[in-house]
Structure 1
Amino acid sequence: MVHEFPVRVYYEDTDLAGIVYYANYLKFIERARSTMVREAGLDQMALKEGAGLVFAVRHVDATYLRPAKLDDALIIATKLQQLSGAKLLFEQDVMRGEEMLFSSKITVICMNAAGRVVRLPAEIRASLGL
């Protein structure tokens, strides 16, 4: 299943050259991932307060292909590729129409309140469709 999240490029997202500043792509994909998780029925604040569990990004593999520009309408396509123990692997692409601008693979881990990596509970796996 691919989750799609729309983003409009605003002036604040661009650099002096008028293109999206490279770090802002990470913000765009974070918003898309968080929305996907929320729409899957997972309340991350409740998970933190109730079970003491949080998600954290462990690794980002990002490829910048083409620049996005001011006022572009983008779609962030997010797909959960793999789940193994305490780890989620997401594939996220930033698209302008049919044109891919940015491609990434994001490794997210589940941690407890002490900052230790822990296995994902069964209810989280079920919420994410795994």
Structure 2
Amino acid sequence: MTHRMPIRVYYEDTDLAGIVYYANYLKFIERARTEWVRDLGVDQGRLKAEEGIVFAVRRVEADYIQPAGFDDELVVHTSVEALTGARLVLKQDVLRDGVVLFASTVTLVALGGDGRPVRLPDVLRRTLH
């Protein structure tokens, strides 16, 4: 299952050369992860308030393949690569017209209130299996 989220490139997303500033791709994929989890029916605010669980990025591997520019219509694809006890590995690509511009693998961990890894929430595990 691949989640898709459209994004338009705004002027504020670009650098002096008029292309998307490299760090903004990380913002794009962060927004897509948030929408993906929301679409799965997981309320991250409630998860934190009721169970003390939050998600943190542990690792990002990124390849910048082609630039995107002002006013481009992009789509972020998010899919699960691996799921373990406390870890979730996602493949997140940013595409324009079906062409991958930015490819990443993101490792997330579930953390408890003390900042230590905890088992991924059952609601998420059930949804992803």
TM-score tier by shorter-chain length is over 0.9
1:98 Cα shift?
1.8
Secondary structure of 1:27 counterpart: helix
Structure 1 segment 83-98 matched on structure 2, within 5 A? 83-98=83-98
How many equivalent residue pairs? 129
In structure 2, stretches of 5+ residues that fail to align are: none
1:122 Cα shift?
2.1
Distance in 1, Cα, partners of 2:53 & 2:3: 23
Q: Give the AA of the match of 1:81.
A: E
Superposed CA RMSD in Å reads 0.7
Which residue matches 1:25? 25
1:15 Cα shift?
0.1
1:126 Cα shift?
1.1
Distance in 1, Cα, partners of 2:31 & 2:37: 10
Q: Is the 8 A contact 2:79 2:91 kept in 1?
A: yes
Which residue matches 2:3? 3
1:73 Cα shift?
0.2
Secondary structure of 2:26 counterpart: helix
Which residue matches 2:115? 115
Which residue matches 1:67? 67
Q: Over residues 51-99 of structure 1, what are the superposed CA-to-partner deviations in whole Å (9 max), with x where a residue is unaligned?
A: 0000000000000000000000000000011100100000000000121
In structure 1, stretches of 5+ residues that fail to align are: none
Distance in 2, Cα, partners of 1:123 & 1:42: 7
Q: Is the 8 A contact 2:42 2:123 kept in 1?
A: no
Distance in 1, Cα, partners of 2:107 & 2:46: 22
Distance in 2, Cα, partners of 1:4 & 1:52: 28
Q: Give the AA of the match of 2:112.
A: N
1:120 Cα shift?
1.2
